[in-house]
Chains A and B, each alone.
Chain A
Amino acid sequence: MEPYKFGIRFQITNAATQPLTDFIAVFHGWIQRQALAGHLLVDVHDYSHVPNGPGILLVAHEANLNIGETPRSLIYIRKQPTPLTETFAAAQAAAKLLTTEHGVQFQFSQFEVFANDRLLAPNTAAGAAQWQALVAQSTGGQVVQQSNDPRERLTFVVTRQP
């Protein structure tokens, strides 16, 4: 399977009123322990002042992870081309760590997968047709293209049995 730069968004189903800034300490704690296997965790960045922004960002060499708003979610974006199955597994691992350690709950029955590469995966009908099967196969869900605005990243909504 060819590696590409994908991102995953898992919506948070609780903790919606918890201050975003609470996650600053959470992510610093992860860095102290290098808690995310397969990742070199580097830094935490506070974007809580930006409306609809990335919220609290955890920077790793391999990926950016952030707790963002609208709706509150964990977003995992791979920086280097990586097989989607690995990206998906890493995002799930991060989500599970937040659940285990901080009680954050996620909606795993429906989530988003997006290609963070407009060159190889443009948000067009042809782009969607090219990538849909891979996303379905890698995530084990049913896949629908979210929108067809060519300026946006190619994004699929994935629905699957919990």
Chain B
Amino acid sequence: MTWKAKLGSQIPAELGKEIDVFETQMELRKLGKIDEKLFAETRLRRGAYGQRYDNAQRFDGFKTQRLTYPHAGLTKGPDTAWDAPGMQRIKIPFGGVSPEQLEVLADIAEEYADGILHITTRQDFQLHFVHIEDTPASMRRLAAVGITTREACGNSVRNVTACPIAGVCRTEAFDVTPYAKALAGFLLGHPDTQDFGRKFKIAFSGCECEACGLVYMHDMGALAQVRNGQRGFKLFVGGGLGAVPYQAKVFAEFVPVEELFPVAQAMARVFARLGEKQNRARARIKFLIDKLGVEEFQRLVAAERKILATDARWTAYLPGAAAYQENPLKPGRQLTGKPTDGLAAWLETNVYRQRQTGYAAVTIACPIGDITAQQARQLADLARKYCGGHVRTTVEQNLVFRWVSEADLPELYRGLQAIGLNEYGAGTILDVTACPGTDTCKLGIASSRGLARELRARLAGKFFTLDAAVKGLRIKMSGCFNSCGQHHIADIGFYGNTRTIGNRKVPHFQVLLGGRWRNNAGSYGLAIGSVPAKNVPAVVERITERYVRDRQGTEEFQDFIARIGKAESRRMIEDLMPVPAYEKDPDFYRDWGDPREFSLGDMGMGECAGEVVSALQFELAAAERLNFEAQLAHEAGDFAKADELAYGSMLQAARGLVHEQWQDVPADPATVVREFRTRFSAASLFSGPLAAYLFQRHDQPPVAPTREAAHRLIEEAQLFIEGAHTCGDKLRQQLAAPLKK
């Protein structure tokens, strides 16, 4: 019995086929028939990500150990052991997750990971310590409840995020949910999004003043607007955090909803065509826009938009989107009675009164984004009972129950208390956000989660005594400068770095002050200095005390920092920067939550950028997979199928070559063969005898292929694919030649 057999038709056909293909690619990799770089990008595009120590070595505090896994020598990417535990990222478009989905997520967390569901800063779920052999089964179980992991990582359109209170927000222009959902579906696997040099992140927000959508820090941000009664979006492009943060620029003040998809598609085509492909550090669209200027980018996108063939999907979803609404489970009734102490604090920080009278959106604070599988199942029960299953993940690593009748809040609180998830302080200084850092990330320098745990514990102990202005501050941290913890948009942000003292490394965190979470990530904080990791709690205390003491009236933290200036901000923490000698305090030479002496030796190559794999390489890999399947069919005695698959593999390879010259080449065999003949065979770019294999099979398909004929065609197809590789190399050399001059 397998999950594939058990779930059968519950798995949507298209998703099922994709997972079958991935499973075959895994087999091909094990047979050495797929290059490791290509396989790395393939698995990344299925959300199967690398994890710390997957290069099969780890510093144990005294020495670097070689981890000898059973499949020694087999890799799933460059310097990445096949058996090493990895991370599975699971896309949750707009953060919408149903109770049924939560239950399946819980099951796979328990059976294939470590029993924890981790919510990311982009509304995904992540599972850690997953073996790659378990990924197809987990993908099938997710697919059966409508979740795909496709393009969760790699150089692709990542999870499309949206405000978690869209539709119930008091200040939004309209509910962006159906637009975010539809755009995510439209761009998923779209041919125009398959050849990016880096990832592409999209966010939706319903209003300008709040933070929820964070549109200013995305590759493409869509801010809901209504003009003359018509829905549309103010579109932003070229934002992003990372090592070098960029504020997005306005692409268009108003794009009507009818134009949202074609404009996004046109942007994707321009990015795929002109974006940097070799220098990974400058391959995000923000660099392209910086290079071209936003006006030129607008012009290019407009020109691209004009030549797009009309797609019915651009507008087919609009009637449904306009009518979209969630149905509450119960009538909204107001809360009466005096709440108890714990409930009162929770009501104050975790409950948002919805636009709809008598309803509340409840934030369930998940410590550093973690919930157990058991809690996920219990949350599914609570969601069914209190909010009709309307649950969202948030970019602050929490969950939101929407449409809770206010009268049910005390009961829901008790339900959450029973499962250990009634923590107050959501969206406050207590609700620290952190990326995985050195816990699991290959790029992590310092332990962001270790620090987050420490800060949460210390702040929780004195939360009720904190000044109200301090309670409202946000702390975010990343394990390195890449900003997955979104440290740039925190009031107080940190990112991990290191300093050498004597001959030892000491974990440090750079301090950034004055980022603005509100106004859709309205401004970024400025670095004021690096402090030893063990002094960060003192830094937080110092800064917050100074703010309480010296702020003027109701002065906000950003204004306070701007007023006192960078030099004074630095002076505030300067005495916390020195590191005592190792002999005096060796604790400084260890990171939070890790007794090993600190080392950078465990850092590896990150996979955030994916591998540079061209669209042609993907097409040729697909051709090889088809050829492999032809061999399996032949072995099983199905010669007709073997013949068809072998022919298909040649078509796939030919189409890949044509695609290099004609982006919109259709898939029908007649067109592919005609174009291949004209562009490659007749132009002597492709070996004549090899091209003849395709032409012959295309022109004279066999009525009933024999064993021998099918076998011969498989061999010919393999040679044809080899020819396509050679031809692809020639094309690349031709492209590179002018650059060498």
Contacts and interface: CB of A to CB of B under 8 A. Distances in A.
B540 interface: no
Nearest to B367: A49
Interface size, B (range)? 35 or more
A64 B107 contact: no
A125 interface: no
B659 interface: no
B103 interface: yes
A21 B593 CA distance: 8
Interface string B526-539: 00000000000000
B213 interface: no
Interface in A120-139: 120
B419 A52 contact: yes
Closest 8 CB pairs of A and B: A51-B420, A25-B595, A49-B367, A32-B60, A46-B593, A49-B453, A50-B370, A53-B372
B290 interface: no
A73 to B, nearest CB: 13
Contacts of A25: 595
B116 A54 contact: yes
18 contacts: A28-B594, A31-B58, A34-B65, A40-B69, A43-B53, A48-B453, A49-B370, A49-B457, A50-B116, A50-B371, A51-B367, A53-B372, A54-B115, A57-B114, A61-B70, A118-B111, A120-B1, A151-B377
B3 A51 contact: no
Interface in A27-81: 28, 31-32, 34, 40, 42-43, 45-54, 57, 59, 61, 64, 66, 79
B24 interface: no
Interface of B: 1-3, 6, 52-53, 58, 60-62, 65, 67-70, 83-85, 103, 107, 110-111, 114-116, 128-129, 131, 367-368, 370-372, 374-375, 377, 419-421, 439-440, 449-450, 453, 456-457, 593-596
B131 A79 contact: yes
A116 interface: yes
Nearest to B51: A43
Contacts of A61: 67, 69-70, 83, 85
A42 B58 contact: yes
B85 to A, nearest CB: 6
Given A42-B85, A53-B116, 4 more contacts: A46-B449, A49-B367, A49-B457, A61-B85
Contacts of B370: 47, 49-50, 53
A43 B68 contact: no
Contacts of A49: 367-368, 370, 453, 456-457
Contact of A46 (B3, B85, B453): B453
A157 to B, nearest CB: 17
Contacts of A151: 103, 107, 377
A71 B3 CA distance: 33
Interface of A: 5, 21, 24-25, 28, 31-32, 34, 40, 42-43, 45-54, 57, 59, 61, 64, 66, 79, 116-120, 151, 153
B495 to A, nearest CB: 20
A154 B692 CA distance: 59
Contacts of A42: 53, 58, 67, 84-85
Contact of B595 (A28, A64, A116): A28
Nearest to A25: B595
Contacts of A40: 67-69
A118 B85 contact: no
**What does DSSP make chain A's interface, helix, strand, loop or mixed?**
loop
Contacts of A117: 111
B54 to A, nearest CB: 10
Contacts of B116: 47, 50, 53-54
A24 B450 CA distance: 12
Given A50-B116, A53-B116, A53-B372, A59 B377 contact: no
A148 B197 CA distance: 51
Nearest to A153: B110
Contacts of A48: 453
A31 B69 contact: no
Nearest to A48: B453
Contacts of A21: 593
Contacts of B61: 28, 32
Contacts of B111: 5, 116-118
A47 B377 CA distance: 19
B53 A54 contact: no
B52 A59 contact: no
Contact of B52 (A34, A43, A116): A43
A32 B594 CA distance: 14
A51 to B, nearest CB: 3
Nearest to A149: B377
B688 to A, nearest CB: 51
Given A46-B453, A61-B69, A119-B6, A54 B60 contact: no
Contacts of A54: 114-116, 372
Given A24-B594, A24-B595, A28-B595, A59 B374 contact: no
B58 A45 contact: no
Nearest to B368: A49
A120 B6 CA distance: 11
A59 B129 contact: yes
A84 to B, nearest CB: 17
B103 A51 contact: no
B367 A24 contact: no
A91 to B, nearest CB: 16
B280 to A, nearest CB: 27
A59 B85 contact: yes
Nearest to B108: A118
Contacts of B67: 40, 42, 61
A66 B374 CA distance: 16
Contacts of A43: 52-53, 58, 85, 129
B321 to A, nearest CB: 34
Nearest to B457: A49
A122 to B, nearest CB: 10
A8 B156 CA distance: 41
Nearest to A70: B420
A52 B60 CA distance: 28
Contacts of B129: 43, 45, 59, 64
Given A53-B370, A54-B115, A116 B110 contact: yes
A19 to B, nearest CB: 11
B126 to A, nearest CB: 13
